[in-house]
Amino acid sequence: MAISGLNFKERSLLFANLASIAYSDDVDDVTSKVKNLGFTKVNFYNYGGAQAYRFVSKDDVIIACRGTQPGEFNDIRADLGAIPVMAETVGRVHLGFKQEVDELWPMVKGDLLTLKKERAAWFCGHSLGAAMATIMASRCNQDAEMPDIQELYTYGSPRVGNRKYVNSLCVTHHRWVNNNDIVTRVPLRLMGYRHHGEEHYMNAWGNVRNPTGWQRVKDRFRGMWWGLKKGKIDNFGDHSMVNYIENLERYNSGLEVQQY
CA angle 100, 161, 243 (to 5 degrees): 70
Neighbour tally for 213: CB within 10 Å: 7
Structural domains in the chain, CATH included, are: 3-253 (3.40.50.1820)
pLDDT digit string, tens, across residues 16-25: 999 999 999 9
pLDDT digit string, tens, across residues 50-103: 999 999 999 999 999 999 754 444 444 455 557 888 888 889 999 999 999 999
Residue 219 pLDDT level (bands cut at 50, 70, 90)? very high
34 Cβ neighbours under 8 A, 6+ residues apart: 18, 21, 42, 55
> Would you state the pLDDT for residue 81?
55
> Would you state the pLDDT for residue 63?
98
Q: Could you give the 3-state DSSP secondary structure of residue 126?
A: strand
> Would you state the pLDDT for residue 84?
82
How far apart CA 258 and CA 245 sit, in angstroms, is 18
List own/partner pairs for 96-99 with CB under 8 A and 24 or more apart.
Answer: 97/128, 97/131, 97/132, 97/135, 97/158, 97/160, 98/135
Of residues 201 and 170, more confidence is placed in: 201
Q: Given a cut of 80, is residue 30 above it in pLDDT?
A: yes
pLDDT digit string, tens, across residues 220-251: 999 999 888 888 888 889 999 999 999 999 99
How far apart CA 68 and CA 181 sit, in angstroms, is 14
Cα–Cα distances (Å) from 243 to 75, 174, 192, 230, in that order, read 22, 17, 29, 16
Q: Which of 212, 235, 213 shows the shortest CA–CA distance to 225?
A: 235
- pLDDT more than 70, % of the chain: 93
Q: What is the pTM of this model?
A: 0.94
Q: Do 183 and 127 touch, CB atoms closer than 8 A?
A: yes
pLDDT digit string, tens, across residues 118-134: 799 999 999 999 999 99
> Would you state the pLDDT for residue 214?
94
Mean pLDDT of the chain: 91
pLDDT digit string, tens, across residues 181-196: 999 999 999 999 999 9
Q: Do 108 and 47 touch, CB atoms closer than 8 A?
A: no
pLDDT digit string, tens, across residues 144-159: 888 889 999 999 999 9
